[in-house]
Amino acid sequence: MTSKSADIKDLSPIARPRSVAIIGASNNEFSVSGRPLKYLRREFKGGIYPVNPRYEEIQGLKCYPSIKDVPEAVDTALIAVSIDRLFAILEECAEKEVKSCIIVTSGFAEVSDETGAVYQKQLKDFIERTGMLVCGPNCIGMVNLPLKAITTFSPIFENHSFAEGNVALVSQSGALGHAMVTIASEAGIGFNFIISSGNEAGLTTEDYLEFLVQDPETEMILGYVEGFRDANRIYNIGSKARENSKPIIILKVGKSQVGQKAAMSHTAALTGSSAIYNTVFRQTGIIEAQDIDELVDYAVGFRSKKYPKGSGLAIVTASGGAGILMADKAEEYGLSVPELKPETRSQLEEIIPAFGSSMNPVDVTGQILNDTTMFKRCINILLKDPEIHMVVVMLSTATGSLAEQMANDIADVADSTDKPVMVIWSSGARFGDNGKQILAERKVPCYQVPSKACRVLAAMKRYQDFLDSKHKEPLINDQPIDLNLVLEILEQAPQTIGEYTAKRVLKQYGISVTKEEIAKNAEEAVSIARKIGGPVCLKIESPDILHKSEAKAIRLNLKSDDEIISAFNEIMNNANNYNSNAWINGVLVQEMITGGQEVIIGINNDPQFGPVILFGLGGIFVEILKDVSRRVLPLTKEGAYEMVKEIKAYPLLVGARGREKMDINAIVDTLFKVGQLAGDFKDNIAELDINPLLVLPTGQGVKVVDSIIIKKTK
């Protein structure tokens, strides 16, 4: 993966325009081309230039017949003309050296007929030729809130204003993106950029993310994504975000079959498989939200920038019931509610009445009504307990000045610590609203129900773990690899590469395979068997017979020469009966390994993300129970180890039910080497299956028993 940081586009002209032209501007203040003008006129300090040949003046501003008539330089032109007039206008913009365009015009790739695709192609060609920065088409515009550059026709700015902040949103759906802004802003999130990316004929979500991730004024990035176009860039975006400790939270849609189909017709983005996106987001530290409310919940939590450095949660309530519900949810989301140290408890007991609880969950009881400082004092004590990594206070019906006092108290404590302190305020919006307002302003995350807080805390814990994990260096293979030889083997092999040749490829990477040779006749089989030593198995070796069992062309556990000779003849006969036209290379004589545990390693070369590696136990575990783990390459040692531990059947590998412990290190090593092979030959290998890889007890390694490689069609 080469860094593309040198190629990052400078989006300043479109992101921070000093002047904006509205081409096709309208006097109708509620129309697509009237609204942006109205919004800009409110407070934008830069130049505003309506363009429309039919008017001298629009909304009180001088109007120009053509963009070329605008006397000043134009950073951004919003174009809201019909598609048949668009390209002439664009050429004028290019002549005028307008630096960027926001095209709201629709009728491109989002329509199902051919015209759309033709227009999309024409636009792409224009962009390539001129190098112009283009947002859209079919977008609803671009907003820089601190600059008051509200270059959009979104109705949300009609009657409402939104707090400025350091959160940026990139959305492939205009309407949904702006709807999210209305929800997030009520939760106290302030935005800088609100970007509707439309069809992405020019600038893509990846471009915006690359820009934002290195933009010093952006502290958090939210995204609504139907599909990425150049998914590989996510890695670099992820590492840059990690360097800058800048959380990226993404709602990825188009995961269901119907959703994918709808996404295709909507913005014509590739949607990719949901399992792979999960994997990629996890590997790059991107926080994935499952719905709009989750996206906002994460934003509210992550902007506090305080993440738990362990899983120990202390719960403080004034209601026993609230504590129980909260403890349930904590466990559900993988947080722990540890017992408090005796010294912590005895300090709490000085504050809490006897009918309360100094155990975790801590219940200060209704006494809080008489002494609102109880929360503050209890939280301070809890924060000193080294096993407590985060504190949640659960309130219910507190209102009025009491609510305000509590909110300020809690915010004071939250400000004084590096551990996250959150509030769950379970009441209707009309209740305790002053207190809730104070928490939002003071950036103390506050949620209505326990699940939301626990989900966010769990995600913050995972994010902290991600930030803490050692810088992920790929493993180094000490086996010198003859890449030319491997390439030669691959090129000479048929499209579907059978066991014998596949193993030759694997061996080049130092992957342990069964001892085996091809015998052309029964005598050769016997002499190979002697060389191997111990019992052997015989299998037909033919590119035309892949289902060896079905062809009855496999025999196991052969010990004597006689057995081997008769097996050889039988296999050749059966193979001939099964497919008399099959090309037969001979019969594979293979060492017979017993015991151990069968596992599967697979590679699937995804069109968007490249090789994806898969691990699972053999047979029903993969096929029926779908108990597998996945990673996108490059695979790190930690990643490979996590892959093994992640499957539900992992206990079977480490001695559950009186079994022997299997050689986990050898699996990890094999996963890494298979990943290396798949990465080196990603242009050649479409699929690779090792099924089974036999894992032997600790220290005894693994052996590839069977494998198949399918080459990429060029």
- Cross-sheet strand order for the sheet of 76-79: 47-51, 19-23, 76-79, 100-103, 133-135
- Computed from CA positions of residues 584, 587, 588, 592, in that sequence, does the dihedral angle turn out positive or negative? positive
At position 248, the amino acid (one-letter code) is: I
Mask 76-95, x = binds its own copies (CB under 8 A)? --------------------
Please report how close the Cβ of residue 178 comes to its own copies at its closest, in angstroms. 6
Residues 357-376 that bind its own copies (CB under 8 A): 357, 359-361, 363
- 7 φ/ψ angles, rounded to the nearest 5 degrees: -90, 0
CB of 411 or CB of 424, closer to its own copies:
424
CB of 318 or CB of 393, closer to its own copies:
318
Please report how close the Cβ of residue 257 comes to its own copies at its closest, in angstroms. 7
For the beta carbon of residue 32, count every other beta carbon within 10 angstroms.
17
At position 117, the amino acid (one-letter code) is: A
Q: Which of 625, 682, 697, 700 binds its own copies (CB under 8 A)?
A: 625
Q: Does residue 399 interact with its own copies by CB under 8 A?
A: yes
CB of 338 or CB of 543, closer to its own copies:
338
Q: Which of 16, 35, 99, 178 binds its own copies (CB under 8 A)?
A: 178
Give the gyration radius of the chain's Cα atoms. Answer: 32
Contact between 421 and 393 under an 8 Å Cβ cutoff? The reply is yes
Contacting range for its own copies; rule: CB under 8 A; set: 301-309, 448-456, 463-471, 561-569: 448-456
Q: Which of 278, 427, 527, 700 binds its own copies (CB under 8 A)?
A: 427
Q: Does residue 665 interact with its own copies by CB under 8 A?
A: no
Distance of CA 388 to the CA centre of its chain: 29
- Distance, in Å, from the CA atom of 198 to the CA atom of 141, rounded to the nearest integer, reads 9
CB of 355 or CB of 583, closer to its own copies:
355
Q: Which of 156, 340, 379, 502 binds its own copies (CB under 8 A)?
A: 156
Please report how close the Cβ of residue 566 comes to its own copies at its closest, in angstroms. 26
Please report how close the Cβ of residue 538 comes to its own copies at its closest, in angstroms. 22
Q: Which of 144, 426, 514, 629 binds its own copies (CB under 8 A)?
A: 426
CB of 151 or CB of 590, closer to its own copies:
151
Contacting range for its own copies; rule: CB under 8 A; set: 17-25, 40-48, 390-398, 437-445: 390-398
Q: Angle at CA 469, nearest 5°, toward 465 and 474?
A: 140
Q: Does residue 618 interact with its own copies by CB under 8 A?
A: no
Q: Which of 60, 216, 258, 714 binds its own copies (CB under 8 A)?
A: 258
CB of 175 or CB of 485, closer to its own copies:
175
Structure tokens that stand for 610 in this block: 């490249």
Q: Which of 9, 55, 66, 107 binds its own copies (CB under 8 A)?
A: 107
Residues 533-592 that bind its own copies (CB under 8 A): none
Mask 183-202, x = binds its own copies (CB under 8 A)? x-xx----------------
CB of 643 or CB of 685, closer to its own copies:
643
Q: Which of 106, 278, 437, 700 binds its own copies (CB under 8 A)?
A: 106
Q: Does residue 451 interact with its own copies by CB under 8 A?
A: yes
Q: Does residue 131 interact with its own copies by CB under 8 A?
A: no
Give the binding-site size for its own copies (rule: CB under 8 A): 94
Residues 17-76 that bind its own copies (CB under 8 A): none
- Going by the DSSP 8-state scheme, the letter that residue 63 receives in this structure is -
Terminal Cα-to-Cα distance of the chain (whole angstroms)? 22
445: closest CA among 288, 322, 298? 298
CB of 222 or CB of 564, closer to its own copies:
222
Q: Which of 53, 534, 651, 655 binds its own copies (CB under 8 A)?
A: 651
Structure tokens that stand for 130 in this block: 């001129």
Contacts of residue 33, Cβ cutoff 8 Å, sequence gap at least 6: 22, 24, 25, 26, 78, 80, 153
CB of 253 or CB of 613, closer to its own copies:
253
| DSSP strand pairing (287-289 vs 76-79) | unpaired
Asked if the bond preceding 137 is cis, omega within 30° of 0, the reply is: yes
For 90, what's the count of Cα atoms within 13 Å in the CB-facing half-sphere?
A: 27
Please report how close the Cβ of residue 516 comes to its own copies at its closest, in angstroms. 26
Q: Which of 41, 504, 552, 648 binds its own copies (CB under 8 A)?
A: 648
Contact between 299 and 249 under an 8 Å Cβ cutoff? The reply is yes
Helix residue spans in 493-593 (DSSP H): 499-508, 522-532, 561-578
- Distance, in Å, from the CA atom of 553 to the CA atom of 551, rounded to the nearest integer, reads 5
- Look at the block and give the residue holding tokens 């996404």: 263
CB of 399 or CB of 405, closer to its own copies:
399
280: closest CA among 636, 609, 605, 604? 609
CB of 55 or CB of 431, closer to its own copies:
431
Q: Does residue 487 interact with its own copies by CB under 8 A?
A: no
Contacting range for its own copies; rule: CB under 8 A; set: 93-101, 406-414, 623-631, 678-686: 623-631
Classified as helix, coil or strand, 543 is coil
Segments of 375-504 assigned E as strands: 390-395, 421-425, 446-447, 496-497
Q: Does residue 171 interact with its own copies by CB under 8 A?
A: yes
For 416, what's the count of Cα atoms within 13 Å in the CB-facing half-sphere?
A: 13
- Look at the block and give the residue holding tokens 């490829």: 505
Q: Angle at CA 220, nearest 5°, toward 216 and 223?
A: 120
- Distance, in Å, from the CA atom of 371 to the CA atom of 268, rounded to the nearest integer, reads 59
- Distance, in Å, from the CA atom of 373 to the CA atom of 395, rounded to the nearest integer, reads 14
Q: Which of 478, 657, 713, 714 binds its own copies (CB under 8 A)?
A: 657
State the virtual CA torsion across 229, 230, 233, 238 in degrees, nearest 10.
Answer: 30
Please report how close the Cβ of residue 449 comes to its own copies at its closest, in angstroms. 5
Please report how close the Cβ of residue 511 comes to its own copies at its closest, in angstroms. 27
Please report how close the Cβ of residue 183 comes to its own copies at its closest, in angstroms. 5
- Distance, in Å, from the CA atom of 499 to the CA atom of 452, rounded to the nearest integer, reads 50
* Secondary structure string (H, E, C) spanning 184-200: HHHCCCCEEEEEECCCC
Please report how close the Cβ of residue 556 comes to its own copies at its closest, in angstroms. 18
CB of 10 or CB of 331, closer to its own copies:
331
CB of 476 or CB of 624, closer to its own copies:
624
Residues 216-255 that bind its own copies (CB under 8 A): 224, 226, 251, 253-255
CB of 447 or CB of 466, closer to its own copies:
447
Please report how close the Cβ of residue 323 comes to its own copies at its closest, in angstroms. 5
CB of 382 or CB of 398, closer to its own copies:
398
What does the DSSP assignment read for 241-306? HHHTT--EEEEE---SHHHHHHHHHHH------HHHHHHHHHHHTPEEESSHHHHHHHHHHHTT--
Residues 279-338 that bind its own copies (CB under 8 A): 290-293, 318-325, 327-332, 337
Residues 592-611 that bind its own copies (CB under 8 A): none
CB of 213 or CB of 251, closer to its own copies:
251
Asked if the bond preceding 445 is cis, omega within 30° of 0, the reply is: no
Q: Does residue 428 interact with its own copies by CB under 8 A?
A: yes
Contacts of residue 96, Cβ cutoff 8 Å, sequence gap at least 6: 67, 68, 70, 74
CB of 180 or CB of 536, closer to its own copies:
180
Q: Which of 19, 59, 100, 154 binds its own copies (CB under 8 A)?
A: 154
Contact between 439 and 423 under an 8 Å Cβ cutoff? The reply is yes
Please report how close the Cβ of residue 371 comes to its own copies at its closest, in angstroms. 16
Q: Which of 3, 245, 265, 495 binds its own copies (CB under 8 A)?
A: 265
